Structure 1
Amino acid sequence: MTDNLNHDPVQPRPVVARLPKYAAGKPPVDVPGLTPYKLASNENPFEPLDEVRAAIAATLGINRYPDTISTELCAQLALVLGVPAEDIVTGAGSLGALTQILSTFAGQNEDGVQDEVIFAWRSFEAYPIVVQSAGALPVQIPLLSDGRHDLDAMAEAINENTSVILLCTPNNPTGPILTQREVDDFIARVPKNVLIVLDEAYTEFVRDAEAVDGIKTYQQHRNVVVLRTFSKAHGLANLRIGYSVSHPEITSYLRLIATPFAVSSVAQQAAMASLANLDKVMARVDSLVEERERVVAALTELGWKIPTTQANFVWLPLGEQSMDFVQLAEARALSVRGFAGEGVRVSIGEVEANDRFLALCRENAGLLSS
């Protein structure tokens, strides 16, 4: 009977072959005489607080499964955010939380028709991957020339197959925020059966008074979900802990689809310790915001026009010269994130790293201004 079996190699689903590859930020190259710095992944350059490290060290029961719904953490988050604890669903980073949302509300229906998920582009590079992995069709709407979402074009792209819309604010990798007014106007144009996801991974770095308030917006609209993370401001990227906030008619389904035990006890204890010392966390964030403003001012003085950033990174729209700049940075022991043919994203890091980045920009002003 084995002679009649098909001996072709095992193949994944066709969509897998079409998925773009997620390119994580690379570590810096060692250069003699220079301290290497990684400015490629929007990481917090500060280690977690001492209180957080102590909580990690004190976590016991690693041989036991964690609380799968993060009960204590959700209760603490509820107090900080001013929302019901049952409206919070944790996940393995905000990306894990987003994957739960898409797996629940976007995919291929029983009639074979794919749901459509609308998002700006360029935006977070994992979006087209997780959308297509869920079985849905990605609908990418080009950014405006200033790196902002084209909300009019996004609204016009809505049709009967649209199930989810992703709004990234501040937008990764370009940096601009969405304002409360423009989001309110946009929501008014979206059918109530379409889920709107406000991805606020960098919300702690925002200082623009006009910026959208995700929590306020979800409280006013039953079809809005807010995504947040402990990876950036809290410096817990390695522990993979994020969460979504939405109404019970949404969270009840998210918990059905969520991967059990996705958030470890270590991550939960670290997040709670960080929340308990939020004033110290925000003091560090304030110092990074000050550095961001210093870097932006210096780039502006050099004559370079960059999108207005409210995140912990800046975007250099270098186009075809993007990868040339990446190589120049590597030669100076700096790792930055290049997007071929589009631009370069540079995280705000240690003061010395930022100074070296600015020196690189001064030495290559022709490249920057071309």
Structure 2
Amino acid sequence: MTSDQILTAAETALPILRAAVSGLPSYVPGRRSAGVDIAALASNESHHEPLPAAAAAVAEAAGRMNRYPDMAAVELRERIAGHLSVTAGEIAVGPGSVGVLQQIITGVCDAGDEVIFAWRSFEAYPILVELAGARPVRIPLDDAEGHDLDAMAAAVTGRTKVILLCTPNNPTGVPISHERLEVFLRSVRSDVLVVIDEAYVEYAVAGSGPDSLALYREYPNVCILRTFSKAYGLAGLRVGYAVAAPEIAEGLRRTAIPFSVTALAQKAAIASLDAADEMRARVAVVKEERARMAIRLEAQGWKLRPSQGNFLWIRADEDLLARLVAAFDRADILVRAYQGDGIRITVADPMSNDRVLQVLEAQTA
């Protein structure tokens, strides 16, 4: 081969991605709305407009967006800490709870370590685990569409570093009871980080899930993960947080991408905490609609598990799933389909919810 040929080959070759990256499944977001008549019910977003106080805070902060945000998010961390009666040293923030989760996996796991989680659960779990070079350990859901905690405990090995518990579970909506979770925590080694992912906790009926803060105070290896994306309506700004033992929280702050939570997001999150009563009023409306839809769907013959998220879950095999997706597409309703498992439908405004009920009623005729 001549020198010119070698140069040509070098010029046309491309860098090679890590095998872990090339083999990753792509995260599948909810489909986006493309018109005014489309009901976008695939992404579990709040259908309410932003809280007025949050929108005002963003507008005011926009005039300074030429400046970097506070990388340590001191004010936001202090406000979250006061809201939860912990210290700012126990809080780490990131771009959505999924961003904080990436900080957790990066900060705790070495190549070959294991991360246990239920399946099906949040779709980003295996992606983040594999990206870190760790090994995802999927434990099938139980017959009630919830976490099989006994099987998860039995799956713990010497390589287990993290256990992810999504409650209420996305996409099935089933919570983990406080009593079951406490028994589980007693059985897990203290050097395994147990992450209680509560992205939808504001939508849960009081007492249906765990008192995660009480468990955190009793078990130092517990980490709580929450977000402002859902009930607070800040999905477009990306801000979430973790509550963890101070030394763990400090590690999570070190693994964060610098300035990853924008100044606008920080100000909006603080304003949202101040508007918690208004947020709860909006959540109450979603809960009422969720209950109304569940009653109607059960009367139509659909078998549902009581959901504690802002969504409903219908278990469906491939044939039923294809039929449902096609019916919703014809009705200009975007829903979230999980191949081989079922369909998730975000609870939205009454008019959109009625359209969902009409589509599903037609499928039982």
Q: TM-score range by the shorter chain?
A: over 0.9
Tell me by how many angstroms 1:145 deviates: 2.0
Give the aligned partner of residue 224 of structure 2. 226
Q: Which amino acid aligns with 1:326?
A: V
1:227 touches 1:245 (CA, 8 Å); kept in 2? yes
Tell me by how many angstroms 1:29 deviates: 5.8
Q: Hey, what's the Cα distance between the residues in 1 that align with 2:220 and 2:261? A: 26
Give the aligned partner of residue 250 of structure 1. 248
**Residues 2-23 of structure 1: CA distance to partner in whole angstroms, max 9, x if unpaired?**
7668744321000112211111
Cα 1:83–1:65 change in 2 (3 A) is: same
> Which of the numbers 259, 264, 267 marks the counterpart of 2:265?
267
> Which of the numbers 11, 14, 30 marks the counterpart of 2:16?
11
Q: Which amino acid aligns with 1:21?
A: S
> Which of the numbers 273, 279, 286 marks the counterpart of 2:284?
286
Give the aligned partner of residue 22 of structure 1. 27
Give the aligned partner of residue 358 of structure 2. 359
> Which of the numbers 62, 71, 74 marks the counterpart of 2:74?
71
User: What SS does the aligned partner of 1:238 have?
Assistant: coil
**Residues 87-126 of structure 1: CA distance to partner in whole angstroms, max 9, x if unpaired?**
0110000000000000000131xxxxx0000000000000
Q: Which amino acid aligns with 1:227?
A: L
User: What SS does the aligned partner of 1:117 have?
Assistant: strand
Moved over 4 A (4+): 1-8
* 1:181-220 aligned within 5 A: 181-220=179-218
Q: Which amino acid aligns with 1:165?
A: I
Q: Hey, what's the Cα distance between the residues in 2 that align with 1:98 and 1:125? A: 13
Which ranges of structure 1 fall in alignment gaps of 5 or more residues? 109-113
2:93 touches 2:253 (CA, 8 Å); kept in 1? no
Aligned pair 1:81/2:84, yes or no?
yes
Aligned pair 1:121/2:113, yes or no?
no
Q: Hey, what's the Cα distance between the residues in 2 that align with 1:163 and 1:271? A: 31
Give the aligned partner of residue 58 of structure 1. 60
Tell me by how many angstroms 1:315 deviates: 0.5
Q: Hey, what's the Cα distance between the residues in 2 that align with 1:126 and 1:252? A: 23
Q: RMSD between aligned alpha carbons?
A: 1.4
Q: Hey, what's the Cα distance between the residues in 2 that align with 1:250 and 1:279? A: 31
Q: Hey, what's the Cα distance between the residues in 1 that align with 2:70 and 2:25? A: 34
Q: Hey, what's the Cα distance between the residues in 1 that align with 2:95 and 2:4? A: 43
Q: Which amino acid aligns with 1:45?
A: H
1:93 touches 1:229 (CA, 8 Å); kept in 2? yes
**Residues 149-178 of structure 1: CA distance to partner in whole angstroms, max 9, x if unpaired?**
011110000000000000000000000000
TM normalised by structure 1 equals 0.94
Give the aligned partner of residue 324 of structure 2. 325
**Residues 301-348 of structure 1: CA distance to partner in whole angstroms, max 9, x if unpaired?**
112111221000011101112132112101111000001121000000
Aligned pair 1:95/2:102, yes or no?
no
Q: Hey, what's the Cα distance between the residues in 1 that align with 2:205 and 2:104? A: 28
* 1:82-161 aligned within 5 A: 82-108=85-111, 114-161=112-159
* 1:279-318 aligned within 5 A: 279-318=277-316
2:162 touches 2:194 (CA, 8 Å); kept in 1? yes
2:33 touches 2:39 (CA, 8 Å); kept in 1? yes
Give the aligned partner of residue 111 of structure 1. none
Q: Hey, what's the Cα distance between the residues in 2 that align with 1:326 and 1:349? A: 18
Q: Which amino acid aligns with 1:334?
A: I
Q: Which amino acid aligns with 2:81?
A: A
